[in-house]
C-alpha cells in the first residue's frame, strides 16, 4: 500500500473507543491513518459504571483509554471538537471548530442522548439528565442546596439514577408513566415485587403518572403537576425516559434513517453509503436500537473485521440483563414477556422472602425462551446458558426456579457448556477463551479477569467464571496448588483456622501435627504472623524468634548493605518540637541518614545491628515507641491537619488518626496496612489510596477500603457513609480481623478483595450485615489484640538475654568492615562497590 487511506471515526464513546482498540489489535492502524472526533471534553470513559463516580471514582478512574493510547498508535484525536457535517460527494468531514478532513472510510459512533419529554418547564433550573460526567457534576451541585430529587422514568437507568439521588442524601421519588417499574424487562408481578422492595429502601414510587407541566414550587425549586391532578414538589428533576439515537449528522447528509430514528445498517454495519458504517447506540439494525454496550462492541468488532477483509456479520444480540438495583437483584433473559407463540410459563413467588421468578419455555418444554428473576438472581448464569446455547431443559423445568429441597444442585455444570458459550456478555468472553487463558497460566480469579476482561463489566458472570475456572483447573489435573509451601498442604486461611480451633501456640506444634520437614522462609514467617495476630505474644520469644524475617528479628528494616533503618511511631504524623529535637539528637549522635517518609514519619538509616538497642534506649527515654515499620502490620495513619487548623476542615482528622493508630498499632497482618484520615472531601491525606481511608463529611465519616498505592495503584471503594465514630471503629475492627483471618500471605487488601467471590458487596454483607454471623467474634479478637499491645522495643531492651543477639559477631566486639559510608548532600550513604574498594585500600595503607 502506497499512501495510507484515511479512516475517520465520529464519536469517541464506549463503542467508538472499543472500535479503535479492535483496529489496533488487528494492526489496521498500520494501514489507515485514523482520525477521531470526540465531542466531550475527555476521551472515552466507562459510562456503564458512571454511577461509581458518586462512590469516589474519578473521571480518570473511569477512563477507557490509556493516556498514551492515541499517540502510541498513531491515532489523531480532536478532543472537545464535534463533527458538524459530512459531505459525501467530496468525502469530507468538517468539525465545529473548522477542521476539515477527507476520508476513505467513515464510521459513525455518536451514541444516543437522553430523551426529555417536551412538557412545559422541562428546561427549568435543576432539570437534569444522566449520561455524562458533566451531568453528574451538575447533579452534585444541585444536590448541595436541594432536599428532594425526582427521577422521571422507572426503567433500568432511572432506578440507577434514583440510587444516586438517594446516596446524595435526597428524599427520592421515581415517577413512571407505565403501570409498573422496568416495564421493558419485567412482567406485572415482577415489577410489583421490585417496587415493594425499593419502597422499603425509602424511595417513593409513583406509577401510571403523566407529567403535564413543571412550574415553580413552594418549598422546593420545582413542582411537577400530573395529568390526574396530583402534584409533587421537588428540587431536582432527573429525566431518564429513554434514549434517542444521535442520527442528525447522518440525516443531514442523506443517509437512510429509520422511521423512528436510528442510522439504518446492514449485517456488516454499513449504512446506505458503502463507505460509511454506523455502530453503537446510534445504529438501527433490523428495526432495533440496542441500548446496551455489548451489542455495540459486537458491531465494532464486525466493522474492524470487515475492514481487515475478513468475513464478519452482526446478527443481533442478546438483551438479557442482570443487575443489582439498590441492593435488589433483578434479571431478565430473552423473551421475558412470553411473546413467542405457544410459550409456556412457570412462575414461582415467595412473598415471605420477596422472591419472584418466572420461566418462559417452548411449547415442547425443551428450550428455555426467557426468564424474569427478582430478589434472587443467583440462577441467572445457568438460565442464560440454557437460553443462549439452546441446551435441552431437564424434565421438570420448574426445578430450575424452585428452591432446592435437597442438597442437590440443579444448576448446569460448567462442563455441560460448549466452548462457544458466552460467559461474559459485557466483553463477549467465551468459555473457550477462558480455558485458553487458564492454560496460559492464569489460575486465579484476579488474573483471569485481568487477562480476559471477563467479569470486569457488570460483574454478573463472576460466579459462573469461577465455576468454569475451578472445573477447568480440576479437569486439566492442574490441581490448583494452594498449599502455602512444601511443608504444609494448607492455605494461609487453613493454617489460621487450625491454629484457632486447636489453640496451637507454637510453630513446632503446628509442624508436628499438620506439616512435614523443617519449614522454610515462606511458612515460618506466615505462621509467625498468624500466631502473633492470634495470640499477640512477644515475637522474640525463644519459640518464635526463628520464625521471623530478619526485619522482625531485629525490629528494624534491613537495607542493601546489611545496616538497618529505624522508624519510631509518630501517631497521625503529629509530633511536638521536643520529640522532634530528640529525634534529631539521636540521629546526629549516631550519624544516621534521616529522611521523611511518605507516611509522615522520620526514617533514620545506617544503624549497625549492635547500635540498635542503644539507639532505642534513647528513643524510648524520649517517649517514642516502636513504629512497626519492619513488620507486616499497621504502618501509619496519615492525616491532614483537619478542622483544628484548616479553614475547610469539617472534622478533627488528626484526632481520629491518632486514635486509630493507637488502637491498631502492633496488629500483625498478612501484609502491611496503611490508613489515612482527611478532614474534608478535598482529601489532602490521600485516604482513597489506602487500605483503610476515612474522610470527614457534614453528615459523618465516610469509610473507604482496599485502596493501594505502590506498584499497582487502586482507588479505594466507598464502603459506608455518614458514620459516627463508634460505628466507624466497629466496621474497621471487623474489616481488619476478617482480612487477617482470610487473606493469603503477602496479599494486600486490594488483591484480597479482588479475588473474593462477590467482591465489595460480599464484604459489605459480612462486615455490615453480619451475613456470616462472625462480627462479634471478630470484634472480640480485635479487642484482645488491643488489650495485649506492648511496645516490642521496650520489651526487648528490658531483657538482657534478648540483647545478646544484637551484635555483629558472637565472639568479637568488632563491627562489620564491609559497611562503609561516604558523604552525599551533607549526610551519609552506603559506599558503592568502587568506593568501597578504594576506601579499603586507603585504610589498609
Partner 1 sequence: MAHWVDVCSVDDLQPNSGVCALIEGQQVAIFYMPKEKTVYALNNYDPFGNANVLSRGLIGDIKGQPVVASPLYKQHFNLQTGACLEDETVTIPAYDIRIENGRVKVSINAE
Ligand X SMILES: Cc1cc2nc3c(=O)[nH]c(=O)nc-3n(C[C@H](O)[C@H](O)[C@H](O)COP(=O)(O)OP(=O)(O)OC[C@H]3O[C@@H](n4cnc5c(N)ncnc54)[C@H](O)[C@@H]3O)c2cc1C
Q: At what angle do helices 492-501 and 507-514 cross, to 10 degrees?
A: 100
Q: Is 784 in the site for ligand SF4 (CB under 6 A)?
A: no
Cα separation, 679 vs 696, whole angstroms: 5
Q: Identify the residue among 143, 236, 238, 292 touching ligand X (CB under 6 A).
A: 292
Supply the Cα-derived Rg of the chain in whole angstroms: 31
Dist CA 334 CA 328 (whole Å) = 20
Instruction: Say how many CA atoms lie within 13 Å of 648 toward its Cβ.
Output: 11
833 counts as binding partner 1 under rule CB under 8 A: yes
The helix/strand/coil state of 236 is strand
- Other CB atoms closer than 10 Å to residue 674's CB: what's the count? 24
Q: Are 645 and 680 in contact (CB under 8 A)?
A: no
The entry of ligand SF4, ligand X, partner 1, none near residue 680 (CB within 5 to 8 angstroms by kind) is ligand SF4
Q: Could you write out the DSSP letters of every residue in 185-201?
A: T--HHHHHHHHHHHHHT
- Which position among 110, 600, 643, 708 is part of the footprint of ligand X (CB under 6 A)? 110
**Which positions ≥6 away from 724 have C-beta within 8 Å?**
700, 701
Given the complex with partner 1, which of 405 and 560 has the nearer CB atom? Answer: 560
- Distance, in Å, from the CA atom of 582 to the CA atom of 602, rounded to the nearest integer, reads 12
Question: Residues in contact with partner 1, total (CB under 8 A)?
Answer: 37
- Each residue 595-614 as x (binds partner 1 by CB under 8 A) or -, in order, gives --------------x-----
What's the CA gap between 315 and 22, in Å, rounded?
19
Q: What are phi and psi of 728, to 5 degrees?
A: -55, -50
Q: Indicate which of partner 1, ligand SF4, ligand X, none lies near residue 645 (CB less than 5 to 8 Å, by partner kind).
A: none
DSSP 3-state of 94: strand
567 binds ligand SF4 (CB under 6 A): no
Those residues with Cβ within 8 angstroms of residue 250's Cβ, 6 or more apart along the chain or in another chain: 86, 108, 257, 263, 271, 276, 278, 282
Q: How many helices (H) and strands (E) does the chain have?
A: 27, 38
One of 679, 689, 693, 830 touching ligand SF4 (CB under 6 A) = 679
* 461 annotated ligand-binding residue: no
Of 12-20, 332-340, 343-351, 765-773, the segment contacting ligand X by CB under 6 A is 12-20
Candidates 156, 684, 736, 791; binder of ligand SF4 (CB under 6 A) is 684
Residue 219 exposed, middle or buried by CB count within 10 Å (0-12, 13-18, 19+): exposed
- Counting Cα atoms < 13 Å in the Cβ hemisphere of 670 gives 24
- Residue 825 interacting with partner 1 (CB under 8 A): no
469 three-class SS: helix
The binder of partner 1 chosen from 513, 699, 788, 818 (CB under 8 A): 818
Q: Which stretch binds ligand X (CB under 6 A): 32-40, 301-309, 567-575, 618-626?
A: 32-40
Q: Which residues from 645-674 bind ligand SF4, rule CB under 6 A?
A: 646, 648-649, 653
Nearest to 555 by CA among 478, 476, 617, 471: 617
Stretch that binds ligand X, among 103-111, 180-188, 795-803, 815-823 (CB under 6 A): 103-111
Q: Which of 32, 53, 103, 130 binds ligand X (CB under 6 A)?
A: 130
DSSP state of 666: T
Residue 680 labelled as part of a binding site: yes
Does residue 568 touch ligand SF4 according to CB under 6 A? no
Rule CB under 8 A: say whether 408 interacts with partner 1: no
Under rule CB under 6 A, which residues in 541-560 are in contact with ligand X? none
**Do 55 and 339 form a contact (C-beta atoms < 8 A)?**
no
* 753 binds ligand X, rule: CB under 6 A: no
- x-or-dash pattern for partner 1, window 776-815, by CB under 8 A? ----------------------------xx--xxxxx-x-
First to last CA, the chain: 72
640 labelled ligand-binding:
yes
Task: Tell me if residue 267 falls in helix, strand or coil.
Answer: coil
255 binds ligand X (CB under 6 A): no
CA 820 remoteness from chain centre: 46
Residue 812 CA to residue 803 CA, distance in Å, equals 15
Q: How far is the CB of 48 from ligand X (least distance, A)?
A: 4
CA dihedral 117, 152, 325, 235 (to 10 degrees): 130
Whether the CB-CB separation of 417 and 389 falls below 8 Å is answered with yes
- Near ligand X by CB under 6 A: residue from 8, 75, 83, 469: 83
684 assigned to a ligand binding site? yes
Work out how close the CB of 611 gets to partner 1 at its nearest, in angstroms, rounded to a whole number.
15
Grouping H, G, I as helix, E, B as strand and the rest as coil, residue 397 is helix
Q: How many beta carbons lie within 10 A of that of residue 364, not counting itself?
A: 10
* Chosen from ligand SF4, ligand X, partner 1, none, partner binding at 261 (C-beta under 5 to 8 Å by type): none
Output the smallest distance, CB 540 to partner 1, in A. Answer: 11
Q: Which of residues 709-728 bind ligand X (CB under 6 A)?
A: none
Considering beta carbons, is residue 617 or 725 the nearer one to ligand SF4? 725
Query: Which residues from 178-217 bind ligand X, rule CB under 6 A?
Result: none
CA distance 842 to 373: 82
Class of residue 82 by CB neighbours under 10 A (exposed 0-12, middle 13-18, buried 19+): middle
Q: How far is the CB of 656 from ligand SF4 (least distance, A)?
A: 12
Which residues, 678 to 707, sit near ligand X by CB under 6 A?
Answer: none
Please pick, from the candidates 680, 694, 750, 767, the single residue that binds ligand SF4 as defined by CB under 6 A. Answer: 680
Name which of residues 529 to 558 contact partner 1 (CB under 8 A): 542, 545-547, 549-551, 553-554, 558
Q: Candidates 59, 253, 641, 803: give the one binding ligand SF4 (CB under 6 A).
A: 641
Round to whole Å and give the CA distance between 354 and 216. 39
User: Using CB distances below 5 to 8 A depending on partner kind, what does residue 338 bind out of partner 1, ligand SF4, ligand X, none?
Assistant: none
Judged by CB under 6 A, does residue 642 bind ligand SF4?
yes
Q: Among ligand X, ligand SF4, partner 1, none, what does residue 532 contact (CB within 5–8 Å per kind)?
A: none
128 is a contact residue toward ligand X (CB under 6 A): no
Residue 837 interacts with partner 1 (CB under 8 A): yes or no: no
Helix ranges, 238-394 (H): 248-252, 293-307, 380-389
Stretch that binds ligand X, among 44-52, 168-176, 186-194, 311-319 (CB under 6 A): 44-52
Concatenating the DSSP letter of every residue in 621-664 gives HTT--B--TTSSBEEEEEE--GGGT-TT--S-HHHHHHHHHHHH
Least CB distance to ligand X at residue 422 (A): 14
> 425 or 643, CB closer to ligand SF4?
643
Closest distance between partner 1 and the C-beta of residue 326, in Å? 48
Residue 749 C-alpha cell reads as 487488601
**If you search the block for the grid coordinates 427521577, which residue do you land on?**
151
Q: Which is nearer to ligand X, 203 or 766 (CB)?
A: 203
Q: Which of 568, 643, 629 is nearest to 602 (CA)?
A: 568
User: Would you tell me which residues interact with ligand SF4 (CB under 6 A)?
Assistant: 640-642, 646, 648-649, 653, 678-680, 682-684
Binding site residues, ligand X, CB under 6 A: 10-11, 13-16, 37-40, 47-48, 50-51, 82-83, 109-111, 130-131, 157, 160, 246, 249, 280-281, 291-294, 296, 323, 458
Q: Give the residues lining the site for partner 1 (CB under 8 A).
A: 486-487, 508, 517-521, 523-525, 542, 545-547, 549-551, 553-554, 558, 560-562, 609, 804-805, 808-812, 814, 816, 818-819, 833
- Annotated binding-site residue numbers: 640, 646, 680, 684
Q: Which residues are annotated as a binding site for [4Fe-4S] cluster?
A: 640, 646, 680, 684
Amino acid at each position: 500500500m502506497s499512501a495510507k487511506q484515511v479512516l475517520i471515526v465520529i464519536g469517541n464513546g464506549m463503542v467508538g473507543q472499543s472500535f479503535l482498540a479492535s483496529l489496533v489489535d488487528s494492526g489496521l492502524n498500520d494501514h489507515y491513518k485514523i482520525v477521531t472526533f470526540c465531542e466531550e471534553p475527555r476521551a472515552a470513559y466507562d459510562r456503564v459504571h458512571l454511577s461509581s463516580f458518586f462512590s469516589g471514582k474519578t473521571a480518570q478512574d473511569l477512563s477507557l483509554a490509556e493516556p498514551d493510547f492515541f499517540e502510541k498508535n498513531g491515532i489523531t484525536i480532536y478532543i472537545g471538537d464535534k463533527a458538524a457535517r459530512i459531505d459525501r460527494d467530496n468525502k469530507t468531514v468538517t468539525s465545529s471548530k473548522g477542521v476539515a478532513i477527507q476520508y476513505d472510510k467513515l464510521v459513525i459512533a455518536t451514541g444516543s442522548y437522553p430523551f426529555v419529554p417536551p412538557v412545559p418547564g422541562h428546561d427549568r433550573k435543576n432539570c437534569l439528565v444522566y449520561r455524562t460526567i458533566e451531568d453528574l457534576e451538575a447533579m452534585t451541585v444541585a444536590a448541595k442546596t436541594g432536599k428532594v430529587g425526582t427521577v422521571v422514568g422507572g426503567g433500568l437507568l432511572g432506578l440507577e439514577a434514583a440510587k444516586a439521588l438517594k446516596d446524595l442524601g435526597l428524599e427520592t421519588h421515581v415517577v413512571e408513566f407505565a403501570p409498573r417499574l422496568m416495564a421493558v424487562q419485567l412482567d406485572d408481578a415482577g415489577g410489583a415485587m421490585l417496587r415493594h422492595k425499593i419502597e422499603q429502601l425509602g424511595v417513593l414510587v409513583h406509577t401510571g403518572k403523566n407529567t403535564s407541566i413543571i412550574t415553580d414550587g413552594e418549598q422546593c425549586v420545582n413542582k411537577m403537576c400530573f395529568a390526574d391532578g396530583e402534584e409533587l414538589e421537588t428540587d431536582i428533576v432527573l429525566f431518564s425516559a429513554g434514549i434517542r439515537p444521535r442520527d442528525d449528522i447522518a440525516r443531514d447528509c442523506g443517509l437512510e434513517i429509520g422511521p423512528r430514528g436510528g442510522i439504518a445498517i446492514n449485517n456488516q454495519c454499513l449504512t446506505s453509503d458503502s463507505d460509511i458504517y454506523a455502530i453503537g447506540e446510534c445504529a438501527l439494525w433490523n428495526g432495533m436500537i440496542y441500548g446496551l454496550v455489548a451489542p455495540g462492541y459486537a458491531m465494532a468488532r464486525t466493522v474492524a473485521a470487515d475492514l481487515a477483509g475478513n468475513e464478519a456479520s452482526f446478527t443481533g444480540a442478546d438483551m438479557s440483563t442482570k443487575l443489582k438495583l439498590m441492593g435488589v437483584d433483578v434479571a431478565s433473559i430473552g423473551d421475558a414477556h412470553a411473546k413467542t407463540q405457544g410459550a409456556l410459563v412457570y412462575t414461582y413467588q415467595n412473598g415471605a422472602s420477596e422472591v419472584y421468578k418466572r420461566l418462559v419455555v417452548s411449547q415442547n418444554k425443551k428450550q428455555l425462551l426467557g426468564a424474569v428473576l427478582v430478589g434472587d438472581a443467583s440462577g441467572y448464569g445457568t438460565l442464560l446458558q440454557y437460553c443462549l446455547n439452546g441446551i435441552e431443559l431437564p424434565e421438570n423445568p420448574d426445578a430450575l426456579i424452585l428452591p432446592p429441597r435437597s442438597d442437590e444442585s440443579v444448576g448446569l455444570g460448567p462442563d455441560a457448556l460448549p466452548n462457544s458459550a458466552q460467559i461474559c456478555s459485557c466483553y463477549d468472553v467465551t468459555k473457550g477463551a477462558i480455558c485458553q487463558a487458564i492454560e496460559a497460566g492464569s489460575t486465579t480469579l484476579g488474573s483471569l479477569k485481568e487477562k480476559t476482561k471477563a467479569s470486569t463489566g457488570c460483574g454478573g458472570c463472576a460466579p459462573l467464571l469461577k465455576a468454569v475456572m475451578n472445573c477447568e483447573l480440576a479437569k486439566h489435573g492442574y490441581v490448583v496448588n494452594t498449599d502455602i509451601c512444601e511443608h504444609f498442604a494448607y492455605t494461609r486461611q487453613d493454617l489460621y483456622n487450625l491454629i484457632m480451633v486447636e489453640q496451637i501456640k507454637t510453630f513446632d506444634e503446628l509442624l508436628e501435627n499438620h506439616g512435614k520437614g523443617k519449614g522454610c522462609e515462606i511458612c515460618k514467617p506466615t505462621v509467625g504472623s498468624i500466631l502473633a495476630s492470634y495470640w499477640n505474644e512477644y515475637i522474640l520469644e525463644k519459640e518464635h524468634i526463628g520464625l521471623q524475617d530478619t526485619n522482625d528479628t531485629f525490629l528494624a528494616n534491613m537495607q542493601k548493605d546489611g545496616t538497618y533503618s529505624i522508624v519510631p511511631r509518630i501517631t497521625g504524623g503529629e509530633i511536638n518540637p521536643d520529640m522532634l529535637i530528640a529525634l534529631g539528637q539521636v540521629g546526629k549522635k549516631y550519624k544516621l541518614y534521616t529522611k521523611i517518609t511518605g507516611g509522615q514519619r522520620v526514617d533514620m538509616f545506617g544503624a549497625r545491628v549492635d547500635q540498635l538497642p542503644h539507639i532505642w534506649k534513647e528513643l524510648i527515654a524520649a517517649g517514642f515507641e516502636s513504629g512497626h515499620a519492619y513488620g507486616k502490620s499497621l504502618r501509619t495513619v496519615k492525616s491532614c491537619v483537619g478542622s483544628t487548623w484548616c479553614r475547610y476542615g469539617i472534622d478533627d482528622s488528626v484526632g481520629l488518626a491518632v486514635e486509630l493508630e493507637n488502637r491498631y498499632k502492633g496488629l500483625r497482618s498478612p501484609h502491611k496496612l496503611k490508613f489515612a484520615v482527611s478532614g474534608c472531601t478535598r482529601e489532602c491525606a490521600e485516604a482513597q489510596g489506602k487500605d483503610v481511608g476515612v474522610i470527614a463529611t457534614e453528615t459523618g465519616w465516610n469509610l473507604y477500603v482496599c485502596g493501594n498505592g505502590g506498584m499497582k495503584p487502586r482507588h479505594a471503594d466507598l464502603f459506608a457513609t455518614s458514620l459516627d465514630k463508634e460505628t466507624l471503629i466497629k466496621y474497621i475492627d471487623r474489616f481488619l480481623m476478617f482480612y487477617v483471618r482470610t487473606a493469603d500471605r503477602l496479599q494486600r487488601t486490594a488483591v484480597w478483595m479482588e479475588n473474593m467471590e462477590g467482591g465489595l458487596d460480599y464484604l459489605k454483607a459480612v462486615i455490615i450485615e453480619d451475613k456470616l454471623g462472625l462480627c462479634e467474634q471478630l470484634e472480640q479478637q480485635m479487642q484482645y489484640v488491643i488489650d495485649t499491645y506492648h511496645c516490642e522495643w521496650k520489651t526487648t531492651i528490658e531483657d538482657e538475654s534478648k540483647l545478646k543477639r544484637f551484635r555483629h559477631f558472637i565472639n568479637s566486639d568488632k563491627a562489620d568492615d564491609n559497611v562503609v559510608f561516604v558523604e552525599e548532600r551533607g549526610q551519609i550513604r552506603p559506599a558503592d562497590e568502587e568506593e568501597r574498594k578504594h576506601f579499603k585500600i586507603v585504610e589498609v595503607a
